């Protein structure tokens, strides 16, 4: 029997087990690798680099362009726009709470945030630099970056490894705790209203938390580099799959070349899900209620009633946490000449 079918059948059993094992509050700090402990100096430098469009070949695209921390951590587009108006094939996932993933990107092709931070810079569609040396040449040519790098990493430290470490350190501060859900599981039984509690129970009854489990609702805690992936869609014989082109992207198979990885994707977090429309890897679904109906049908082969859909959407809304205040950094100016090539 397929695992997904078994999960659906056991939905009621799963719901009796989740209170102790699955309903977890979000931590207020994120784990960091041993070779990159989080420091205030790294975070401040990382924020500068994260916001600086001069890390792109045209001087128009920063990390924040696609993962906007002044809102839901994405860009509200189906697919993101990079240099020269080019667009990719996948929706930008939110950067909020990304520190709680064991792998990065939809297809898990990077293990750590440090690895992820390097990728877009040299992607020809995203930030378009020829290589990392070109990117760091731009940073080295801006005098005001020398002091922040030295404060964070010491002398002669302006290089791509340290730039990625700084960006990752900043991203590890992007945590949204203390949602209504968090307060509820910590004992405040008034934190969720009746509809949200109904939605929480239905979420468990259906078996949604077989994939969207843990504190970040992105699956069980895994060793770094061992991502939690799920086939999507699992049940492809329905109108949603064709309408939203859900099988066109081969997912992890595009990285591994393995047939068994076709349509396998990293399970995304549901934290702040109300703030990150449009939905799914291709950004094809505009509303959360439609996304809920699709997940029920495509993953569990269940048709939700209108009321169940509303209840689950209400519960998902309770996963929106508190965004920390972020002030925009003052970026160092290039002196006397442009750093952007024609």
Residue pair 16/145 in contact by the 8 Å Cβ criterion:
no
Locate the domains of the chain by residue range: 3-28+177-317, 40-171
CA dist 181 and 190 (Å) reads 10
CB atoms within 10 A of CB 245: 11
Residue listed under structure tokens 């309770």: 318
Task: List Cα–Cα distances, 327 to 11, 74, 314, 324, in angstroms.
Answer: 44, 18, 31, 10
Calculate the average pLDDT of the chain.
Answer: 93
User: Looking at 126, 205, 223, 254, which residue is catalytic?
Assistant: 126
pLDDT at 16 over 50: no
The encoded tokens of residue 116 equal 């992820």
Let me know how long the chain is.
342
pLDDT at 6 over 50: no
Same fold, 3-28+177-317 and 40-171: yes
Residue listed under structure tokens 């239905």: 202
User: 40-171 adopts what CATH topology?
Assistant: Cytochrome Bc1 Complex; Chain D, domain 2 (1.10.760)
- The mean pLDDT of 163-169, rounded to a whole number, is 98
DSSP run (H or E) holding 231: strand 229-231
- Of 114, 92, 120, 116, the residue nearest 169 (C-alpha): 114
Distance of CA 231 to the CA centre of its chain: 18
**What residues contact residue 188 under an 8 Å CB cut-off, 6+ apart?**
none
User: 3-28+177-317 adopts what CATH topology?
Assistant: Cytochrome Bc1 Complex; Chain D, domain 2 (1.10.760)
Q: For 241-282, how does the pLDDT look when each residue is reduced to its tens digit (9 = 90+)? A: 999 999 999 999 999 999 999 999 999 999 999 999 999 999
Q: For 112-122, how does the pLDDT look when each residue is reduced to its tens digit (9 = 90+)? A: 999 999 999 99
The encoded tokens of residue 331 equal 């970026």
Residue 316, pLDDT score: 98
The encoded tokens of residue 183 equal 């307060």
SS3 category, 127: coil
User: What is the Cα gyration radius of the chain?
Assistant: 21
Lowest mean pLDDT among 94-98, 164-168, 221-225: 221-225
**What residues contact residue 44 under an 8 Å CB cut-off, 6+ apart?**
148, 152, 170, 329
Q: How many helices (H) and strands (E) does the chain have?
A: 14, 2
Active site residue 71: no
């Amino acid at each position: 029997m397929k695992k997904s079918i078994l999960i659906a059948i056991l939905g009621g059993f799963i719901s009796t087990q989740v209170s102790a094992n699955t309903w977890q509050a979000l931590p207020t700090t994120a784990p960091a690798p041993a070779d990159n402990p989080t420091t205030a100096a790294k975070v401040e430098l990382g924020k500068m680099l994260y916001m600086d469009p001069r890390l792109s070949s045209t001087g128009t695209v920063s990390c924040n362009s696609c993962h906007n921390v002044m809102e839901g951590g994405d860009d509200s587009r189906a697919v993101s726009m990079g240099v020269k108006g080019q667009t990719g094939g996948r929706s930008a996932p939110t950067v909020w709470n990304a520190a709680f993933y064991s792998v990065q990107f939809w297809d898990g092709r990077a293990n750590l945030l440090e690895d992820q931070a390097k990728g877009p810079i040299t992607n020809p569609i995203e930030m378009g630099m020829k290589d990392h040396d070109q990117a760091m040449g731009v940073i080295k040519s801006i005098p005001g970056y020398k002091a922040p790098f030295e404060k964070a990493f010491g002398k002669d430290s302006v290089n791509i490894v340290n730039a990625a470490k700084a960006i990752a350190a900043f991203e590890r501060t992007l945590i949204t705790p203390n949602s209504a859900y968090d307060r509820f599981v910590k004992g405040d039984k008034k934190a969720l209203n009746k509809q949200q509690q109904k939605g929480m129970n239905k979420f468990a009854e259906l078996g949604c938390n077989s994939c969207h489990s843990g504190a970040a609702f992105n699956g069980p805690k895994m060793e770094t580099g061992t991502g939690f992936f799920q086939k999507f869609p699992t049940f492809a014989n329905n109108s949603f799959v064709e309408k939203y082109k859900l099988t066109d992207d081969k997912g992890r198979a595009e990285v591994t070349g393995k047939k068994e990885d076709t349509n396998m994707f990293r399970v995304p977090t549901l934290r702040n899900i109300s703030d990150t429309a449009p939905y799914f890897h291709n950004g094809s679904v505009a509303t959360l209620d439609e996304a809920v109906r699709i997940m029920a049908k495509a993953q569990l082969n269940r048709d939700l009633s209108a009321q169940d859909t509303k209840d689950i959407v209400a519960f998902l809304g309770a996963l929106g946490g508190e965004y920390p205040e972020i002030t925009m950094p003052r970026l160092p100016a290039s002196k006397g000449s442009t750093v952007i090539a024609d």
